[in-house]
Amino acid sequence: MMHPIPGPIVVPDTFPITWQDPADAALYWTLDRLHCPDPLPALTFDYVRMIYAECMPAAAVAYEMPIAVKARRAFTYFYWTVQPVVAEAGETEARDKRAQALLRETMAHLQELWHTTWLPEVKEHLAFFDAFDLAGASLPELLAHLDEGLARVKRLWVIHFLVVNPALIAASTFGDLYLDLHLPDLGIEGDFEAYVILQGFDNKTLEANRGMWHLSRVVLATAEVHRVFETTPANRVAAALAEFPAGWTFLEELQAYLAEYGQRDDYFDELSQPCWIEDPTPVFENLQDYIRQPDRDPLKELAVQAAERERVTAGSRQFLIGYPQPVISEFEFYLKAAQEAMVLLEDHNFWIDYKTKYQLRRLLLEFGRRCTDAGVLLKANDVFHLSLQELRETMAGLPGTDHRDLVQARRAEVTHYATVNPPNALGSVPEAPLPNTLFTRSFLTKVFGIQAVQSEDPNVILGNAGSPGTVRGPACVVHSPDEAGKLQKGEILIAETTSPPWTSMFATAAAIVTDVGGILSHCAIVAREYRIPAVVGTGIATTVIHDGQMLEVDGTAGEVRILTSE
């Protein structure tokens, strides 16, 4: 499948772009709404730029998938351009074959590599951060720790892509192979049999959600605690529970949960937002939702998915008996690799993405506290509105320059641009489709998704089929995780994108519709696990759909119908 040439670039007058390098104007820059849909403070941008412009290409080279990535912060939004490195005439196909061989070797040992090589190294880097006394360090020691810490963060993100590259390509290739084999209809809507075979495996995200579910059962079993959750806003629950002994007991259980699973927040790459272990309000919101679902059983749900997986797998294998042995062997190879991949796509996120971000955030907040004590900043969290270079220069010259007015202006800029719709692309439309490589087929097409051409009917929204099934229900538009508490059972979640900590909302929603993503996006994968329809990559859902509108979501066809005006 070729990634199509995108449509015209439309940049409003409110985004007057200037190009320091004229060559950049000739590139096609996309707004990464999948990972960074919101305005980024300066320090977060430096972090995200490092991830995608340095770590991602470094890991790609290891698999002979050389790519060139550039990033820029335009009016506080994250834009990037990614292209396979142009090879000499005739070299692209040869390079792709070498990449396939390297990736295939890794796919053959995905689970083994994770447990014996990658995860032990990840834990070693995380232990380095845990062992350092941030508050007790001298300023020179803290600056040296920053240098060492950033080097380790880079290595952690290289490991992220060393895991993700073969994992996503394994899942993508298995999906393509399944369709190519023309296996029979096994009772699954649409072309989703391949992905049913990949469902129902436990992972760290589901484990964390079950832990939260257990906490909700504790709430239901204790009348006083239950009453607090039913009558108190989420941001005041902790204070209310601290007023009586049963509440103290529950808070102890909560702290144990947060110690295990709380080093994450509701965003992919945002450094400036507190993690759950710092502010458990999102956990309280999810618990308030869970206690309204007394009859759910997450373990039973996982068992049902596993049983369906085994049924479809057995049916597929039965049909393949008549195929040549090399075809059967290829099917079994990619089946094993893709099933292991689906677990690692969640587990790596738990261990690398969120724990790394938490540790870096802790370190940067220590700099923020010292800048606050020196009168350079008003509060510690203001440090995220300085660039990394500004932070280094500031710390080297403390007390030095007063940055309070600068931070106020930058904070106002982020607040302002959060109220406007940024253009989806900048620069120039490419003259031809990207080369048909493993990278474009698996990442750009199936993770980020191909933007659908919208229907002429204003009541029909088209996207990518993400999870099969058709349901009707009222819309609930969630622009940020702070609004997640308004989602009610049976409503259709409308979001720009979702990240792993949003997963608990999938147990509440009747269906999911997103602006971005393809069949292997996080939202689509999780929706299939929760057996609810999903239409992803509509491009316009959050701007066209309003709260309360009655919708029909057809996840099999990738279509959303607006049934009522309001």
DSSP 45-96: HHHHHHIIIIIHHHHHHHTT--EEEEEEEETTEEEEEEEEPPPSTTHHHHHH
Q: Output the six-digit token pair for 536.
A: 């992803």
Under 8 Å between Cβ of 508 and 310: no
**CATH number of 449-562, picked from 3.50.30.10, 3.40.605.10, 3.90.650.10, 3.20.20.70:** 3.50.30.10
- The pTM (predicted TM-score) of the whole model is 0.91
Secondary structure class of 474 (helix, strand, coil): strand
Distance CA 299, CA 388 (A): 45
Q: Output the six-digit token pair for 523.
A: 């939202």
Beta bridge partners of 511: 492
- pLDDT at 10 (0 to 100): 84
Q: How many CA atoms within 13 Å lie on the side-chain side of 129?
A: 23
Secondary structure class of 399 (helix, strand, coil): coil
Of 372, 391, 527, 525, the closest CA to residue 446 belongs to: 525
Would you give the distance in Å from CA 562 to the centre of its chain?
27
**Segments of the chain with pLDDT less than 70:** 1-6, 86-87, 89-90, 190, 432-439, 452, 481, 566
For 349-381, b/e burial (b = at least 16 CB within 10 A) is: bbbbbbbbbbbbbbbbbbbbbbbbeeebbbebb
Q: Output the six-digit token pair for 167.
A: 């994992």
Strands 77-84 vs 28-31: parallel, antiparallel or unpaired: antiparallel
Distances (CA, A) of 9 to 19, 78, 429: 16, 16, 7
- pLDDT at 68 (0 to 100): 85
**Hey, what amino acid is at 372?**
T
Distance CA 355, CA 287 (A): 22
Question: Treating both helix axes as pointing N-terminal to C-terminal, what angle do 355-373 and 388-396 enclose, rounded to 10 degrees?
Answer: 40
Our CA angle for 196, 201, 206, nearest 5°, is 115
- pLDDT at 1 (0 to 100): 46
Would you give the distance in Å from CA 379 to the centre of its chain?
29
**Hey, what amino acid is at 26?**
A
- pLDDT at 89 (0 to 100): 63
Domain ranges of the chain: 22-86+419-444, 449-562
Q: Output the six-digit token pair for 207.
A: 């484990």
- pLDDT at 321 (0 to 100): 92
Q: Output the six-digit token pair for 402.
A: 């007063």
Distances (CA, A) of 115 to 42, 69, 122, 131: 36, 30, 10, 23
Secondary structure E strands in 430-483: 460-462, 464-467, 470-478
Residue 37's contacts (CB-CB under 8 Å, 6 or more residues apart) are 496, 497, 515, 516
Distance CA 208, CA 214 (A): 10
Distance CA 494, CA 475 (A): 7
Per-residue three-class SS string for 147-214: HHHHHHHHHHHHHHHHHHHHHHHHHHHHHHHHHHCCCCCCCCCCCCHHHHCCCCCCCHHHHHHHHHHH
- pLDDT at 17 (0 to 100): 86
- pLDDT at 564 (0 to 100): 84
Distance CA 475, CA 308 (A): 29
Q: Output the six-digit token pair for 330.
A: 């290829």
